[in-house]
Amino acid sequence: MRRVEKRLWPDGFQRVLDGVKTYELRLGDFDIAEGDVLVLKEWDPTTAAYTGRILERTVGHVGKWTDADLEMYWKPEQIKQHGLQAISLLPHSAPPRSGDKR
């Protein structure tokens, strides 16, 4: 198990702290694996300084993709037009009903 430190801007930091944001989208320029500890240090880009707030989260699944991987599913112009989404999947207690827009 490794500890990996990364900066996180205030809005994202607060969402993780509140439990609303349960994923982290990052450039794949560092090694991280399931079971590692991600240390998130709040960074204020307006002052170019750390705020002093720190969160630690255990890493679950890590997925990595290259441009070629993405182009198996979408054309580059589709990605440019629509962007990508990271979707957090949480367990639910009952299956969704037909037409349910949860």
pLDDT tens, the chain, 102 aa long: 899 999 999 999 999 999 999 999 999 999 999 999 999 999 999 999 999 999 999 999 999 999 999 999 999 999 999 998 888 877 877 666 666 665
pLDDT, residue 21, reads 94
Residue 24 lies in a domain: yes
Closest CA to 24 of 42, 12, 11: 12
User: Would you call 32 helix, strand, or coil by DSSP?
Assistant: coil
Residue 98 lies in a domain: no
Residue 100 lies in a domain: no
Amino acid at 101: K
Closest CA to 2 of 51, 53, 26, 38: 38
pLDDT, residue 99, reads 66
pLDDT, residue 72, reads 94
Residue 95 lies in a domain: no
Q: What is the CATH number of the domain that holds 34?
A: 2.30.130.30
Beta bridge partners of 47: none
pLDDT, residue 89, reads 77
Residue 63 lies in a domain: yes
Residue 23 lies in a domain: yes
Residue 9 lies in a domain: yes
* Domain count across the chain: 1
Residue 92 lies in a domain: no
Amino acid at 23: Y
Residue 52: domain span: 3-82
